[in-house]
Copies of this chain bind each other. A is one copy, B any other.
Amino acid sequence: MSFTYTRKAMKVDRQPRCRCRVGPGSFEVRARVERFAEPAVLLLLAEGPSHGYELADALEELLEEGRVDFGNLYRLLRSLEGEGLVASSWSEDAPGPLKRIYELTGEGAALLGAWAGSLRSGQARIARVLERYGAVAEKIDNTYHGKD
């Protein structure tokens, strides 16, 4: 009856982190900001204390990238706590399983500010590339589709 073990056999092809070819001349690309979960989590905690699972929900809505990986999220939270960027405590009142409630520290708020600045320059960098892409897009079309 129990076929749980068969799961092991179902090794899905791990897909590349950023992009993969899905057909001739057809690609799937995911431009991701490295460690983007960190500023996102700090932001959510700046809006108010929360716990892991709840943060996962909020992240899904904020990032629109599907469910974040719980493993990495909890690891992130613990490491942020280790650095003094967030502080945690177990919720006592709430029913259900114990929740570890996180809140932002002053240091964490400072880091969030630094992230905001860096994200702004990142946006500018991306904008520069996109602008230049727009300038050659027509040429590309002529070269590779018009007379190929």
- A contact residues vs B (CB 8 Å cutoff): 17-19, 21, 24-36, 38-40, 43, 46-47, 62-65, 83, 104, 106-107, 109-123, 125-130, 132-133, 136-137, 139-140, 143-145, 148
Count identical subunits in the complex. Answer: 2
Asked if A120 meets B130 with Cβ closer than 8 Å, knowing A32-B34, A35-B18, the reply is yes
Q: Nearest Cβ distance between residue A45 and chain B, in whole angstroms? A: 10
B106 pairs with A25, CB closer than 8 A: yes
Q: List the B side residues contacting A116 at CB < 8 Å.
A: 130, 133, 137
Main secondary structure of the interface of A (DSSP, over half): helix
Complex-state Cα separation, A137 to B132, whole angstroms:
33
Asked if A106 meets B148 with Cβ closer than 8 Å, knowing A116-B130, A118-B29, A122-B33, the reply is yes
A114 pairs with B46, CB closer than 8 A: no
A-B contact pairs, 19 of them (CB 8 A): A17-B35, A19-B38, A21-B83, A31-B39, A31-B118, A32-B33, A34-B34, A43-B132, A43-B136, A46-B140, A64-B125, A65-B125, A109-B143, A110-B144, A116-B133, A116-B137, A119-B129, A123-B126, A123-B127
